[in-house]
């Protein structure tokens, strides 16, 4: 299925064609702890054509000759261990590589795509007449090289 072309132009001013691709995915979902927790897992493979790569004649611009294949899996766990408290954790592994390109060796990892990412959060809330009386939480995300904590190390409302 084509996606919207990136709003950039080549060195000659041409707009890029839409990126097309084929994706295969299989997954599973399970309720645990009497419905208080949910676990999901998925395996996937995505091949995208018309990927942008660096223009070998003008490195400040891109050309559209590449193909990228991404393979990976993701696992998520969410639950409510106690009334008003929510937990969430996810892990993803991605192996994204060029499978066709103009000047990058086939098999080279795609830059800017983390090989692994981990996200976790814990939050709590009380309700008053069905509305959130207060909420607080903490989230942490890391993607192999970068670790980020939600601003202020948490949130309240």
Q: Residues 33-74: pLDDT tens digits?
A: 888 999 999 999 999 998 887 777 888 888 887 799 999 999
Whether pLDDT at 124 is above 80: no
CA distance 157 to 113: 33
Q: Model's pTM, two decimal places? A: 0.69
Q: Give the torsion sign (CA, 113, 78, 85, 126).
A: positive
Residue boundaries of the structural domains of the chain = 21-156
pLDDT higher than 50, residue 154: no
65: left (phi over 0), alpha (psi -120 to 50) or beta: alpha
The whole-number pLDDT of residue 30 equals 97
Instruction: Kindly tell me if the per-residue pLDDT of 26 is higher than 90.
Output: yes
End-to-end CA distance of the chain: 41
Interval 68-81 mean pLDDT: 94
């Amino acid at each position: 299925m084509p996606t919207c072309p990136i709003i950039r132009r080549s060195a000659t001013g041409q707009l890029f064609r839409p990126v097309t691709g084929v994706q295969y995915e299989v997954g599973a979902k399970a309720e645990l702890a009497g419905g208080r927790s949910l676990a999901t897992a998925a395996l996937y493979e995505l091949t995208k054509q018309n990927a942008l790569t660096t223009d070998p004649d003008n490195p400040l611009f891109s050309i559209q000759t590449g193909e990228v294949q991404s393979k990976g899996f993701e696992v998520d766990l969410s639950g409510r261990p106690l009334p008003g408290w929510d937990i969430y954790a996810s892990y993803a592994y991605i192996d994204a590589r060029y499978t066709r390109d103009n000047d990058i060796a086939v098999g080279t990892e795609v830059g800017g795509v983390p090989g692994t990412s981990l996200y976790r959060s814990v939050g709590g809330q009380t309700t008053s007449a069905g509305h959130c009386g207060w909420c607080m939480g903490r989230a942490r995300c890391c993607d192999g090289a970068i670790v980020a904590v939600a601003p202020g190390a948490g949130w309240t409302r």
